[in-house]
Amino acid sequence: MKLRRLLFPIAALLVFVAAPVRADEGMWLYSAPPRDQIKKKYGFELTDAWLERLMKSSVRFNSGGSASFASADGLVVTNHHVASDAIQKLSSETHNYLRDGFHAKTRAEEMKCVDLELNVLQSIEDVTARINAAIPATASGGDAAQARRKIMAEIEKESLDKTGLRSDVVTLYQGGAYHLYRFKKYTDVRLVWAPEQQAAFFGGDPDNFEYPRFNLDVSFFRVYENDQPVRPAHFLPWSARGAQDGELSFVSGHPGNTSRLLTVAELEYARDNQLPYTDALLKRREVLLTAWGARSAENARRAKDDLFGIQNSRKVRDGQLAALQDPGFFGAKVAAENAFRQQLRDRAGGTEALTAFDRIAQAQQAIAAIATRTRLLENASAFYADSFGYARALLRAGDERAKPNGERLREFSDARRESFEQQLFSEKPIYADLEIVKLGDSLSFFVATLGATDPLVQAVLAGKSPRARAAELINGTQVRDVTFRKKLYTGGAGAVTAAKDPLIEVARLIDGEARALRKTLEAQGEIKQQAQAVIGKARFAVEGTGNYPDATFTLRLSYGPVLGYEENGKKIPALTTLAGLYERNTAQGNKEPFDLPQRWLDKKAALDLSVPFNFVHTPDIIGGNSGSPVVNKAGEFIGIIFDGNIQSLSADYGYEDRQARAVSVHSAGILEALKKIYGADDLVAELLRTRR
């Protein structure tokens, strides 16, 4: 289906910029939950005990996504599409678990993931005052950025040493506040059950971000410590009844990023510069991997997870771009900012905030001037290959680890060392033939973007065509060998240099300019953060403090009722059923991507087709919320977020509840499929077992 144009009433957009939050908007901090709003509107009180259980039952997949503990024996439930990265790494040409599914009927059969890290939030501490006190008032953007990086690394290291918990300083309100998040980290994670991808992603790309939906987008893992299943302090009891039409639902997850507090100047940059570039690049890669995958079944298997992620991201970017290109949507943003700036002009002390808008616009212009080369070099869009990622990581680790902790790039700080090493030493399969195709195409993009006469382009290609150079580099590098990576990492910069690995040397070739670009970007980002802090302070003075920060891939609480909507004059019910799945399958002639795995066809008669399957509700979500548990007022698991509808794709820039909806898998539908399609009685029993 083609992406439909996104239309929103201007009044709805003014909500999140020019006035305090209303309706059910908000991705709320657990340290500042919307108690008053919920009690006033729904008569429900968020108690400390209720919040703590939900917080400590919620899980973050550090690879991107959310999850929750589902049993007293460390069982974790998330989306299949969140799990797919781990499932792909466990698969092979002879065991295609993405295609065929997986079920460990005993603990001994559970498969250990190669590099998966799960995080569970334990505490939040406001460290704003300490961070701001460490920034000299007269420091330039670059010096201030360095000072901020140093104090953040110091705080994180102190916390790690004191508590043993993963400790991350998180920037909130675009620099208006800084909170220290402490996480319990788990790295022994084992796959328990996953359906076939065709059941998890029924309807494929055509139905992605659409509704009604019929997806079993669920997988289960188990967390271990000391080779024994973890006994979490909290988990979410499974509701066999599941979500009911009209009932209040809560979502606890890790929304990745939103841009609702950005100024018009920043949104113009996203509309005219950032999003068009990213959208075009994703479409290029989609064509590349689709064509390569079509050459053989094994090619398709190797490229499948990458391709799925690219297609999903492409559709998201299409929606974001459509929103910002809509004159009504963008005009409302402009009107809201103008109204707020007029309020500042009418208030004593408003001049500083007005000036801050100008500083952000100037910084954004400086960022735009280096944007293309930054994306190609520092963001490595010219070097699209896992092998290059390892090469750069080894190069920079050798350089950075010799520096004091506070002077390193943040990803090499002491507090992040264990997570970095887990990724660096991953045993995940990397296929040279696919790496050559990806790197060759990205080098071609490099040439097309900067021109064949660019000195750095010429140095990277070394007199060869992009494809020939890619083949030479991928075939010549040793970075895909874990033993080699460990040797160089342990040996430091000297060992990295002595290795003379061709791909590491290409990473070295671009590293000087890439680092300089990053330094400029961080300096201008610091200017923007300081200016946003001034604007935020002024906004609090005008609107009060009843607002929430932009998403940061940290735990947030959202809420809203299970509720259908109207589209094109037609009422869309809140819930779909298993009967609807088979009706859509039949209507599409059981043709891909609307075909069903054979076991679903064979066992249709055993199912209660009236059981709910998917549902929509109004909680405020974004990418990263995938896998988030949905709970009712009793704190029971009633569903799991896996998508939003097409109208929700502008959620990066604003909340709307007239048509935009979160889409979830129903807990009753999951149980019905586990019991009657997959015969997973052991898993069902564990989900329905009360705490022992």
The full DSSP string for 341-379 is HHHHHTSTTTHHHHHHHHHHHHHHHHHHHHHHHIIIIIS
Residue 440's pLDDT is 98
Measured between alpha carbons, how far is 368 from 58 in angstroms, rounded to an integer? 38
Supply the DSSP symbol for 73. T
Residue 343, pLDDT score? 93
Whether 408 is in a domain gets the answer: no
> What pLDDT does residue 537 have?
86
Q: Is the dihedral of CA 79, 85, 87, 93 positive or negative?
A: positive
Residue pair 152/160 in contact (Cβ under 8 Å)? The answer is: no
Q: List the domain range (segments joined by +) for residue 592.
A: 10-117+187-260+549-688
Residue 675: in which H helix or E strand, if any?
A: helix 667-676
Residue 293 CA, chain-centre distance (Å), reads 25
Q: How far is CA 596 from CA 47, 196, 212, 589, in A?
A: 44, 9, 17, 10
Query: What three-state secondary structure class fits 490?
Result: helix
Taking CB atoms within 8 Å and a gap of at least 24, the contacts of 504-510 are 504/391, 504/394, 504/395, 504/477, 504/479, 506/383, 506/388, 506/391, 506/460, 506/473, 507/383, 507/388, 507/391, 507/392, 507/395, 508/395, 509/456, 509/459, 509/460, 510/377, 510/456, 510/460
Residue 1 lies in a domain: no
Q: Return the H-helix or E-strand segment holding 184.
A: strand 177-186
Q: For residue 349, what pLDDT is reported? A: 79
pLDDT of residue 280: 97
- Supply the pLDDT for residue 546: 72
Q: Is residue 143 part of a domain?
A: no
Q: What pLDDT is stored for residue 544 in this prediction?
A: 66
- Within-domain flag for 436: no
Quote the CA–CA distance of 371 and 364 in Å, as a whole number: 10
- 678, two tokens: 């997959």
Q: What total of structural domains would you count in the chain?
A: 1
pLDDT tens for 489-499 read: 999 999 999 99
Predicted local confidence at residue 578, as pLDDT: 98
Residue 357 falls inside a structural domain:
no
In a domain, 144, yes or no: no
Task: Outline where 224-350 has alpha helix (H).
Answer: 264-269, 275-293, 297-325, 327-345
pLDDT along the chain (692 residues), means of 10: 31 38 86 96 98 98 97 98 97 97 98 98 97 94 95 98 98 93 98 98 95 98 98 98 98 97 97 98 98 97 95 94 96 96 90 96 98 98 98 98 96 97 97 98 98 98 98 98 98 98 98 98 96 89 79 98 97 98 98 98 98 98 98 98 96 94 98 98 93 40
Q: Within a domain: residue 56?
A: yes
661: CATH: 2.40.10.120
pLDDT of residue 677: 98
Residue spans of beta strands (DSSP E) within 543-677: 556-561, 565-567, 570-572, 575-577, 612-617, 629-631, 637-644, 662-666
Q: Look at residues 225, 228, 237, 226 and name the one whose alpha carbon lies nearest to residue 185.
A: 225
Q: Would you say how long the chain is, in residues? A: 692
Residue 564 lies in a domain: yes
